[in-house]
Every structure is written in C-alpha cells, then in structure tokens.
Amino acid sequence: MDDLLADFVAETREMLEASEGEIIAWEADPTDRARLDTIFRFVHTVKGNCGFFDFPRLASLSHAAEDALSDCRAGRREADSALVSAVLAVIDRIVEMVDIIEAGDEIPEGSDDALIAALGENSDLAAGEIDGLSDLVGAVEEVAAAIENAEDGAVEDASDDQDTPRAVSQNAGVQRSIRLPVDLLDRVMSGVSDMVLARNDLAHRLRQAGNQPTIDGPFERLTTILSDVRDAITRMRMQRIETLYTALPRLVRDLSADLGKQVMIDLEGGDVELDREMIETVRDPLTHIIRNAIDHGIEEPSSRLSKGKREIGILSISARQSGNTISIVVSDDGDGLNEERIAAKAVSVGLITAAERASMSRDKILQLVFEPGFSTAETVSNVSGRGVGLDVVRDNLERVGGSISVSSTPGVGSMFTLKVPLTLSIIAGLTVEVGDQRFAIPQSYIEEIIDSTSKSLDFTRVGETALITFRGNRIPCLSLAEVLGLPSTDIAEGEHTMVLLRLASGDLFALAIDRIHHHGDLVVKPLAPAVMNCGVYAGSTLLDDGQPILLLDVTNVAAEHGLVSDARTRVLQAANQQDQDTDEVLSRAMLFTDYDNRKRAVRLELVQRIETAKAEDIDISPDGKRAVIDGVILPLVGLPEGQKATGKIRFLRLSDETCELLYAVREVDDAVELQNALKPVDDDPLVEALTLVDGQTIALIDGHEIFARYGEPPELTSKPTCHLPDSDWARTILGPLVSAAGYEVVSGSDEAGDIAIVLDDSEPDTSLTDGEFIRLRSQPDAANNDGSIYRYDRDGLVDALRRARAGGKR
C-alpha cells in the first residue's frame, strides 16, 4: 500500500510539473483545446487515483475542478480568468495535500467549499452548482469505475466523456519513474567508466595478439553495448533545464497579478542539460531573481506607457552551456538598477565610505546589491524585500562554485547572469598539443581553427601583444605555451595553428597551439582546489588510453589577459561590428575543387549556401542539367559532360539576387581573402581572372558570364501569367493544362496576364494583356485561317503556349 501511495504522490507531482505551464497558456488562449485537455487530464487523474485511497477532500476538490473544466470542454462554459484563478487555487490546494500525504500525516479536517464555490460560474449560482455537483458525483464514480476496469484490462464502452480519461490512465502507466540516490548513480557511472577503460586495455591487447575472428565478433558486440550503456548512464544524471522552466510562467503570472503589473515571460534554451542536483541548486536563486525583477524592475503599466514603453514588460530567461558552465541570463526591460540609490544605501549601511563611492565605477556599484543587508525597494512588499536578499542568492551559488553578476542600463532594463558549473558533464571538446603535453578546450568556445599553413593570418606584434588579422579584423592572440609558462617549442612565431575562441561575452581571441590532436566527447571531472585555484583549468578528463588531461578554463584565461569586455561595452561593440560589416569591402572568395580536380574560387558574395543532393535528383536534358533543391528546379553547371554522377553531390548555390544556379564541386575548401592581384585571362570565358592563394594558382569564376549563360530565375517565382476567359470550361479543363505549361492562371476583367486566351469570335480585349493572344475555336476545322487552335488540340495549344512564353520572357 505504501508503494502505491508513493507512486500516487510521484505521479501527481510529475503531471503537475508538466501542466503548470499549460494552465497559463490556456488562460492566454481559453479556446486552446489541447491545453484544456491537459489540465483536465491532470485533475481527472488525481481524482481517479483518489478512488483507490481514502482522501475525501482531495477527491471532492479534484472532482469540482474537473466538472468546471469538463463544462468548458463541452462548450457549456467559457473559460475566463476567474475560472483559471479558481482552478489554479484548487491545484495549489491539491499540492498542499499531496505534500501532507507524502509526509505521512493525516489530512486535517477542513472545508474546501470556498474554493469549490469559486469554480462556479458566478457566486449567485454557487448554491445551484453545488446541488449540481451531487448529481455529478454519480457520473464521476462511473468514470472512476471505468478507469479501474480499464486498468483491469476489461475495457468497456462508455460515453464520449469517458473515452479520454481511460486513455489517460493507460498512458500514465507508461511513464513510470523511480527515485534513486545520486550516490548510487555515481557508483554505476564510475563503474561503467572503469569498464570502458578495461575494454580499451583489452582492445589494445587484442590488437597485439593479431586477428582472432572468434574473439573479435563478441568483442565488437561488447563495445557497442558498452557505449550504449554509457550513454544511458550519462543521461540518467542529466535533466533538461525545461523542468525548471515549467514552473516559471505560473510564478510570473501570480506575481504580476499580485503587483498589478503586466509581464510576459520568454524562455529560451530549455534543451540545455544540467546535472539533476544542479537544477535543484539553481531553482531558488532563479525564483528570487525573477521575483526581484517583477517587483523592483518592471514598472506599473501606466508608468511604462508614460516612458514610451510597451505596457507589458518582458522578462526573458535564457540558458546556455558554455564550456563546463551553464549561464542563465535573466533580463527584464524594466527601469534598471538605480546607481545613486544603491550607492547611497551602501554608504548608509556602512558597506563603503563616501570617498570610496566617488572612485567606484557604475559597474562596481551595481555589484553591491549582492552584499549582505541590501534592499532598495521604497516599500517592503510581500513579494520581495523580506530580508532574504541577493546576498543569500550569491552565497548559494558560490557554494556550488557558481557566480552571479548584474549589468543594467538606467531606464532600459537589467540583466542578471547566473553561472553554475557542471560538476559532472560530458562536453564536446578539442584536444590540442603544446610541446609534448595535451590540453582540452570546450568545443562550444571554438569559432574556427586556422591551420598554420594559412598565409592569411598576418601575425604581428604590437608592443608585447600579439595580433593576427582574420577576415579583416585584428584579433588578440595568446600563445598557450606562454599562458601556461611552458618552454616555447621550435615552431616559429606566427607559424602556430590558431584556434579562434569566442567567449560568452562575444569577444574573440586566438590561441596559438602546436597541433590539433583530436576532438570528441570528454567527461569532465572536477579538480582538486589547489589546482582549481590557479584559474587556468576547469577540470580534467581522461583520454581513451586512460591518461588524464587538463581542460582549459577559457573564460578565466581570457579574463586574466584582459580580453573580456563587460556587458555594457558589449552592446556598443555589437553595434560597431554591424557598421564594420557593412563597410567591409574586402574581396573574399570560396575556394573549392571542381569535378575536373581544378582548384577554383568564386566570390563569396555570390555563394548562398552549400547544398548536397543525391545524384537521382539531377536531370540531364539536351538543353542543360538541372537539379531539384528544396522543391525548386535550378540549373546546374560544373558536372563533366557525359559522365554519370553517383552518390551525393555537393553544390555551391550561387545567386545574383534574382537568378540562382548550382555549381557542382568535388570539395569545398575554405573561404579565403583575395589579397593578391587578379590577372585577367582570355582563354576561358567562365574565368574572370587568375590569382594566387597560398602560393597556388586559382581560377576565379566569372560571376557575370556564368549567370549570363546559365542563370535562370528559380522556377517558382518566375511564372508568367495567362489570362483565361470567364467560363467553366476554361476554368476546369483549360486551366490545368495552362498551369502545366508553366503559367499562372488569372481571370476576371480586372486582372491582366502576360498573355491571354480568347474563345471563338470574342473580341481580344487589349486591357487584358500587353502580350500575345491565343485564339481557341470550338470546331475541329478552321472556317478561315485565322491562326486559331482547335480547343482540344493539346499539342497545338501547348506549343503555342510555349512559343508565347519564349517570346514573352526571353
């Protein structure tokens, strides 16, 4: 029985989490049937489950909510905000009771009549509603019985209303979950890791022993099974941050309703995965910051309007994994933090002196809100400002190795950035070598890898700072060997392989390394505090051979060298960047190898995308090759004549803004800058010029010539129009034929076409088209040779249409 009860509690909780967000969404759009169904299922399942236990209060509450909702479902009642509030209140009461049940206490005696009455359509009707309830009790008991039957496998026909509930109770059985101590998971996890290492060792020995078919087969199987198990185990600990998000819409709704504000919540990055434990750690701080943002940040609607903002404030929460930290950014478009008030308060409570205040930057002052004993709200409301301040939030986060910071622009809004580490996580990482030592860099930072052979780096030193030029921008460059204080290797300065890293703040820098080793998934393990303290490493990871390597803390390394800008300059930078981008007139080209194995380049501006298509999608006809990409037929060049392509083919999709064409390439190499002089050539019209890229001669495709020869506007947008006479025959029989010939059909006297079709003797109306008229006659034989076509002469008609099209368009 106890197990059953625990199941009931767990199931109720799970369904509740899933439906919280739905309720708010439903209120926003009461006609949304799917949401209504979800909520209905929740209360219904609770009610149904109560039938197994003796919880009369729980049963009557869920019952009442179910009634109200089923009225909505049946269309007997409109869902309004009063109803939503009442349903929410009932759900809250249910949660309270579930908590009591979980604690093993008796549900205290009490009355839920007020709540139940609130569900009524209006207070006058409440009494009648309660009478109605008793009628419905019978019906509900039927449903409950139906569920029991369903679970026994004896499914009987029931009325419409009872169909859904039964399906639900069956579904509920599928999503079963159990709770496990994290310790146990850890043990299983490290056991599996050990197994992987043992397997690697065995693999090594097998290789030494040579091929042994009898052993290799089972060994392969072991490998596959092991990697499956490892995946599953890893996922066991991880949870999507969505589970944290589901409760937020409700929180925001309640708070904003309490405070008379209008707030819209925008959630992003719900698919970021986080250690289960870490999710719990983040929950409270996040709630606290949201409360603060709504209470202190976002203004009242009237005040917002007077400032020229939208009435509805926006609170956006986004999660992002960067390296082995998760950043959760909570930003609002409220009034921002008041620097003066924070400073005054800090001085008054003795955190800083007036003299210190004078020398502090705005940013520094803002961070004071995380100091103990701080609340700047004028009045203490029941939402925030109860003495538990942001200092507690910071302490909680720092305890798990996280951090919090704030940036804010007066009148525009503020942004809180929470960072929490992934104590245990799997990240994609790049392993690099410096000297004879390897280090790992989280993949998420890596923007691009530039090979040492690339001449476009332009490595220079300005003072002690090294700079490289990449795509026209000067980027600071750190040498990993120097950062780590390793002896420099014999690779000359500027000949290193560069890894371009982009920080979460948007700053870009290059890291010079000796070699790229490999990249793959890394299991990040924490390091001892003595190692962590030096600020260069974020963790360690084991290579396949069991050798440990260190994971670099990219953000810290960058910060140590002063490469991180703060939030405010970031906005400016982004704006500047855009300006720069438009000013940029550097010639860049896409380097590729064509099907004749020649190195060619095409100007980057022409390249829309790199496409891949199967050889079957290519159509070869006498007047050229075409391929279908995304449902559009595009001309195709670059495939050698008379050779049948097989497998998958890559194309550069080129565009001159109206026409598009595909250029088949064997291999796409890289984007390069055209730094050297272009030498025009005459022998091949398709080549604009020859140039040197990295010491190789490259032919640059002539964009003008290639579009002049092969360019076709994409089929979809280029249809000429044909005006048809207004008759049933024209619409149903002629219309499809004309469409099939590549025309768009128009009719009616107010629309003109590129060409027009007229029947028999009717006068050609010149307002219908500027182009050609095609005259159709009803009789097979022409009375006089007026150039008309018999209306069932398909070939003649199609031919005429094609000629008209060729004449009109080309």
Partner 1 sequence: MNDLMVMVEIAGRRCALNAHNVSSVIELGVVTPVPRTADFIAGITAMRSQSLTVIDCRRALGMDPDKFPTDHRGAVVTIANHSYALMVDRIDDINTATSEVENVSGGFGPEWSRITTGMVETSTGPALLIDLALLIAGPESLEVAA
Q: Which stretches of the chain bind partner 1, using CB under 8 A?
A: 190, 193-194, 196-197, 437, 483-486, 525-531, 533-534, 536-537, 540, 542, 546-550
| Beta pairing class for 744-747 and 721-724 | parallel
Q: How many CB atoms lie within 10 A of CB 793?
A: 15
Least distance in angstroms from the C-beta of 502 to partner 1: 23
The rounded distance, in Å, linking the Cα atoms of 749 and 765 is 9
The rounded distance, in Å, linking the Cα atoms of 159 and 165 is 11
Both tokens assigned to 353: 């002196």
Phi/psi for 443 (5° steps) reads -55, -35
The rounded distance, in Å, linking the Cα atoms of 189 and 178 is 17
* Residue closer to partner 1, measured from CB, 193 or 403: 193
Least distance in angstroms from the C-beta of 113 to partner 1: 53
* Residue closer to partner 1, measured from CB, 5 or 233: 233
Least distance in angstroms from the C-beta of 549 to partner 1: 6
Both tokens assigned to 509: 């820098």
The rounded distance, in Å, linking the Cα atoms of 90 and 616 is 60
Supply the DSSP string of 201-227, one letter for each residue: HHHHHHHHH---HHHHHHHHHHHHHHH
Least distance in angstroms from the C-beta of 190 to partner 1: 5
Phi/psi for 614 (5° steps) reads -80, 150
* Residue closer to partner 1, measured from CB, 158 or 195: 195
The rounded distance, in Å, linking the Cα atoms of 627 and 613 is 8
* Residue closer to partner 1, measured from CB, 423 or 676: 423
Residue 299 and residue 334 in contact, taking contact as beta carbons nearer than 8 Å: yes
Q: How many CB atoms lie within 10 A of CB 4?
A: 11
The rounded distance, in Å, linking the Cα atoms of 590 and 607 is 8
* Residue closer to partner 1, measured from CB, 483 or 692: 483
Interaxial angle between packed helices 126-152 and 163-174, expressed in degrees from 0 to 180 and rounded to the nearest 10: 50
Least distance in angstroms from the C-beta of 459 to partner 1: 23
The rounded distance, in Å, linking the Cα atoms of 412 and 338 is 11
Give rounded-to-5 percent helix, strand, coil for the chain.
45, 25, 30
* Residue closer to partner 1, measured from CB, 337 or 440: 440
Q: Lay out the sheet containing 599-603: strands in order across.
A: 667-673, 588-593, 599-603, 696-701, 687-693, 679-680
- Going by C-alpha positions, the residue among 508, 122, 141, 556 that lies closest to residue 323 is 556
Least distance in angstroms from the C-beta of 186 to partner 1: 11
* Residue closer to partner 1, measured from CB, 462 or 530: 530
Least distance in angstroms from the C-beta of 544 to partner 1: 12
* Residue closer to partner 1, measured from CB, 22 or 553: 553
Q: How many CB atoms lie within 10 A of CB 359?
A: 8
Measured in whole angstroms, how far is the alpha carbon of residue 219 from the centre of its chain?
Answer: 39
Least distance in angstroms from the C-beta of 432 to partner 1: 14
* Residue closer to partner 1, measured from CB, 51 or 435: 435
Residue 426 and residue 233 in contact, taking contact as beta carbons nearer than 8 Å: no
* Residue closer to partner 1, measured from CB, 260 or 485: 485
* Residue closer to partner 1, measured from CB, 210 or 529: 529
Least distance in angstroms from the C-beta of 194 to partner 1: 5
Query: Which residues, at least 6 apart from 675, have a Cβ–Cβ distance to it below 8 Å?
Result: 456
The rounded distance, in Å, linking the Cα atoms of 56 and 64 is 12
Measured CA to CA in angstroms, residue 131 lies from 71, 113, 118, 125 at distances of 15, 12, 15, 10
* Residue closer to partner 1, measured from CB, 486 or 752: 486
Least distance in angstroms from the C-beta of 407 to partner 1: 30
Least distance in angstroms from the C-beta of 199 to partner 1: 12
Residues in a beta bridge with 328: 319, 418
The rounded distance, in Å, linking the Cα atoms of 252 and 294 is 8
* Residue closer to partner 1, measured from CB, 533 or 569: 533
Least distance in angstroms from the C-beta of 523 to partner 1: 8
Least distance in angstroms from the C-beta of 450 to partner 1: 24
